[in-house]
Amino acid sequence: MYNTDMPLRAELPSSKKLLRSTGIALVSAAVLLVTVVLPAEYGIDPTGIGRTLGLTTMGQIKVSLAAEASAETQGAAFVPAPSSSPVVTEPVPPIAALATNAATIASRTDETSVTLKPGAAIEVKLVMEKGATVNYAWKTDGSPVNFDTHGDPSDGPKGVYHGYSKGRQVASDTGEFTAAFDGNHGWFWRNRASNDVTITLKTTGNYSSVQQ
């Protein structure tokens, strides 16, 4: 049986070479951390290289989506309530109960357009009475957005809202909802793209006004 020859002491790398190699490895790891990992994963770009490579925007989107997912998991509304007033999501009233309270406002049709810069958000709400119904359709001019369709009661405590639907990275949506109570009902949009996004909303139903 042949045993591998043990290297001579002179053939082994010196302590100085080992320290130098370790130092080079640490410096390389630090450079990758600052220029690639931090921008791509956390949106932190101290050198500006990540933005040039397009990594910073990707990291910012990851952080924002993670924060939104965490909020959804915890059952929080998109509008934070003060610590003394916890957020409450009202249960969906039976359709029959809504129908018995017919809206007294005449039907109307509107088209509303809003433009969001990168990272910006906006709300468009319809002033509706309980039981009133609206049909809607909205779409972006290209990039998808995050949205939350919900209502806020006109005389309820701050932070209480009624959700109808929500979604992430959606370029259009159509549907119908019936107001669960007197108040403001409509849409919250946030632009997570790196470019401006224009949203066009068409509504038909029993509401008194459109508010932004």
| CA–CA dist 186, 184 (Å, integer) | 7
CATH code for 95-211?
2.60.120.680
| Amino acid symbol at 178 | T
Contact (CB, 8 A) for 163 and 82: no
- The series of mean pLDDT values per 10 residues for the chain, 212 residues long, is 57 72 80 72 74 66 61 43 36 42 74 94 94 95 93 79 91 94 94 94 94 90
Q: Per the structure block, which two tokens stand in for 198?
A: 């224009």
**Beta-strand (E) ranges in the chain?**
107-116, 121-128, 133-140, 145-153, 162-170, 172-178, 183-190, 197-206, 210-211
pLDDT for 155 equals 78
pLDDT for 142 equals 87
- In which residue ranges of the chain is CATH 2.60.120.680 found? 95-211
| CA–CA dist 109, 135 (Å, integer) | 9
| CA–CA dist 196, 117 (Å, integer) | 4
Q: Is the pTM of this model over 0.75?
A: no
Sorted by sequence, the CB contacts under 8 Å of residue 122 that are 6+ apart come out as 114, 116, 188, 189, 212
pLDDT for 96 equals 40
